[in-house]
């Protein structure tokens, strides 16, 4: 029986952004995997991925290949990448290749942040495994939009009828797909000792699809 994919397409500016839900069983597996690694100093050091990433974050751990396969994580990423891309392209093209480069979990606490950066590969994504009950308040309390702890996707500059950024407030289970070149940043948060935990990936896809406009 063909699996039904429920995917929301978001186009706040140039490229389509894909939004899906991580199944609860898979989300729990990812959290359990990280919890086990984070309390083991040797494994944490062995799978430390922070030196390869842009973030000013204490704990960023690469997900090993065995877990990627056994947990169904790669199936989730490949299946939903296919749905996102094939529903974003006209005329429609079939995605035949999905090669995972890496996937990692970021454990972020107050005052930590991710500066504006891009990823390698062709496509990337981020989802949320844990979110604090509060991200803290702004110094200026009358600010309309508190972006503490939020992800911001950035594309070009603001123009008529076109925004230059899209701000995402993390919710547990939400996962977003976007092109690797899309600039993005994660703001710091305050007033809490709770954890903001996210999971990300980079992958290669068909060259003729990614390079369609070259």
- How far is Cα 3 from Cα 153, in angstroms, rounded to an integer? 30
pLDDT at residue 40, rounded to an integer: 73
The closest of 98, 107, 42 to 75, measured between CA atoms, is 98
What is the mean pLDDT of the segment spanning 56-81?
Answer: 93
Domain-embedded: residue 88: yes
The single residue listed with the structure tokens 């604090």 is 132
Domain-embedded: residue 213: no
Q: Give the residue numbers spanning the domain of 110.
A: 8-206
What is the mean pLDDT of the segment spanning 83-88?
Answer: 93
Number of domains in the chain: 1
Tell me what the pLDDT averaged over the chain comes to: 89
- How far is Cα 41 from Cα 24, in angstroms, rounded to an integer? 28
- How far is Cα 26 from Cα 202, in angstroms, rounded to an integer? 19
Instruction: Report the alpha-carbon angle 44-76-59, nearest 5.
Output: 20
What is the mean pLDDT of the segment spanning 127-151?
Answer: 87
Q: pLDDT tens across 149-158, in order?
A: 999 999 988 8
Is pTM beyond 0.75? Reply is: yes
**CATH code for the domain of 192:** 2.60.120.620
């Amino acid at each position: 029986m063909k699996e039904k994919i429920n995917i929301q397409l978001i186009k706040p500016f140039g490229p389509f952004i894909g939004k899906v839900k991580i199944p609860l069983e898979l989300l729990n597996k990812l959290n359990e995997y990280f919890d086990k690694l984070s309390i083991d100093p040797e494994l944490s050091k062995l799978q430390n991925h922070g030196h390869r990433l842009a973030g000013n974050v204490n704990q960023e751990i690469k997900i090993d290949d065995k877990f990627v396969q056994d947990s169904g994580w790669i199936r989730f990423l490949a299946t939903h990448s296919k749905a996102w891309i094939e529903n974003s392209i006209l005329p429609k093209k079939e995605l035949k290749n999905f090669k995972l480069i890496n996937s990692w979990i970021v454990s972020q606490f107050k005052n930590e942040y991710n500066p504006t950066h891009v990823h390698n590969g062709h496509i990337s994504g981020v989802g949320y495994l844990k979110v604090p009950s509060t991200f803290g308040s702004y110094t200026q309390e009358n600010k309309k939009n508190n972006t503490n702890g939020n992800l911001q996707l950035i594309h070009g500059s603001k123009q008529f009828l076109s925004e230059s950024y899209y701000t995402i407030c993390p919710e547990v289970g939400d996962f977003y797909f976007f092109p690797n070149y899309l600039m993005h940043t994660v703001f710091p948060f305050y007033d809490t000792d709770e954890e903001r935990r996210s999971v990300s990936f980079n992958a290669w896809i068909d060259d003729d699809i990614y390079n369609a406009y070259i």
